[in-house]
Structure 1
């Protein structure tokens, strides 16, 4: 039986230990996984380790049952437990093959460690905005803030794309720029909004969608790598390149403030991944393929926004499922979240049983 004095903080402490030390092979889970902050952990082993913090010793696995007992205990504490299917197994394998996870934070030191960069090859060009290591390129973009060296380029997000500028006096003919436009390997792109923050948000593997013969060089980066999870990209846009190739034109009207991945990340960190209207959570229903998926709704009407407007992810954005997002915009000006909640409540009340 699971000791009832194990609390949420004990579980979090256990996750931190397991994240650092790994999972013994004999304690790996074959069916269920505790999902937390982009990681998957064996539920029963988590509780065993959590008991160290609650009661001073690891809980023997024969003292309690896996499955329903373990999963329900974790769910009562507010954690998400997902069942492994063939689809989730393939997704997990794909996730493990990726060096960096879209939407996660990394410092340069984290990157050195993940890539096993020798100390002699650290720092230096890594601190100048972009560099190459082996065949891969790495971009560290400051968005809406001046760089540490005083350069203040107007890097910004435009829909799903990043408008990015190279170093001062950079040109298209430079080998460092050519290696970005025509890479041998991958182009890993990281961004932050505060130049004093050592952590960057990983945006994904970028593709030079367009570039301009200016100085500094201007490149438009798109993120359409099919092996990456980009929840900010709507399903109807996934095959956008095919649509243009076939000669048809499809325009998806997008509120640019809802696409800023840094603002989106901060919004979700504050409110969670549940829809703020109906409570729907994708990972609870779809498992790992629903990981980190939710739309983000911008509360302020665009006509009220001035040129100097700076988005506040907590005040201005809310996580909303696609259904509720569509219903919010069924009217101009959009319905408020409170109005839509009342509509749903009234509908449920009026429905005969």
Structure 2
């Protein structure tokens, strides 16, 4: 093992919780997934290349380094925390989240998540100690909260940010049964499938191509991956009503929908 770097000061769990909460919608979906995938990695240790592969960032470790460091900088700006500096005076923004060490032959640089970060992610509900099929997002959202979505993040193509809070709010209202066909993963697969569902934007944000206010109840619907895939088999996408007509004309009869309160 080559050089090992551990920052001299690390925020407390409470400071991480407070800082991450303060960032709110400034954390984009890819940055959130970076922390989640690292949390679930063996020993919470990964390289930037491994994270790129896990998340599907085709432009590789360069983009991961940028997103990971930018998130560290956002945290420092929100909290006033001063990260470690190199001898030349530049900041190690990544050290907000991890210690680092290098291996040679072949050369690889690893990030090892600070235990305080892992505990903060658990406290926020952004991860679960026992990994499940779906990611748990924050759900303590005020009724009057305005969710904003659609800010473009350049990866290898334009990927539009999605609010995890809006996703959770949609699920809290409609439940985890597919709005189109009624399928419920928890009922079929038990604990393994509990809580797993996709969330579909009735108006694709890729068509809007700008930031907009999303109403989790009016603009989003929970759908199973099969129905979600079929909805997007056409451009413009099928409406849920059109998909239900296709389902009703086939041999598969969807269970009745509960379009009101959650399960």
TM-score by structure 1 length?
Answer: 0.39
Structure 1 CA distance for aligned equivalents of residues 75 and 114 of structure 2:
19
TM-score by structure 2 length?
Answer: 0.51
- Paired position in structure 2 for 1:141: 21
Q: Determine whether 1:181 maps to 2:98.
A: yes
Structure 1 CA distance for aligned equivalents of residues 227 and 159 of structure 2:
16
> CA 1:296–1:181 in 2, change beyond 3 Å: closer, same or farther?
same
> CA 1:271–1:176 in 2, change beyond 3 Å: closer, same or farther?
same
Structure 2 CA distance for aligned equivalents of residues 322 and 311 of structure 1:
21
Structure 2 CA distance for aligned equivalents of residues 177 and 254 of structure 1:
22
Residue 142 of structure 1 aligns to a residue in which SS?
A: helix
Stretches of structure 1 lacking an aligned partner (at least 5 in a row): 1-129, 146-153, 192-199, 206-224, 234-250
Structure 2 CA distance for aligned equivalents of residues 265 and 291 of structure 1:
14
Per-residue deviation, 1:256: 4.0
- Paired position in structure 2 for 1:42: none
> CA 1:324–1:177 in 2, change beyond 3 Å: closer, same or farther?
closer
Q: Determine whether 1:288 maps to 2:191.
A: yes
2:29 to 157, 171, 180: 157
Structure showing greater Rg: 1
Give the number of the structure with larger relative contact order, counting CA–CA contacts within 8 Å between residues 6 or more apart.
Answer: 2
Structure 2 CA distance for aligned equivalents of residues 184 and 303 of structure 1:
35
Higher relative strand content? 1
Residue 12 of structure 2 aligns to a residue in which SS?
A: strand
Instruction: Figure out how many residues of one structure are paired with residues of the other and give that number.
Output: 165
Q: Determine whether 1:204 maps to 2:127.
A: yes
- Paired position in structure 1 for 2:224: 321
Stretches of structure 2 lacking an aligned partner (at least 5 in a row): 1-9, 36-66, 86-90, 100-112, 137-155, 254-263
Structure 2 CA distance for aligned equivalents of residues 326 and 303 of structure 1:
16
> CA 1:330–1:314 in 2, change beyond 3 Å: closer, same or farther?
same
Say what the alpha-carbon RMSD is for the aligned residues: 4.0
- C-alpha contact (below 8 Å) 2:198/2:225 kept by paired residues: yes
- Paired position in structure 2 for 1:267: 170
Per-residue deviation, 1:312: 1.9
> CA 1:252–1:338 in 2, change beyond 3 Å: closer, same or farther?
farther
> CA 1:186–1:336 in 2, change beyond 3 Å: closer, same or farther?
same
> CA 1:317–1:252 in 2, change beyond 3 Å: closer, same or farther?
farther
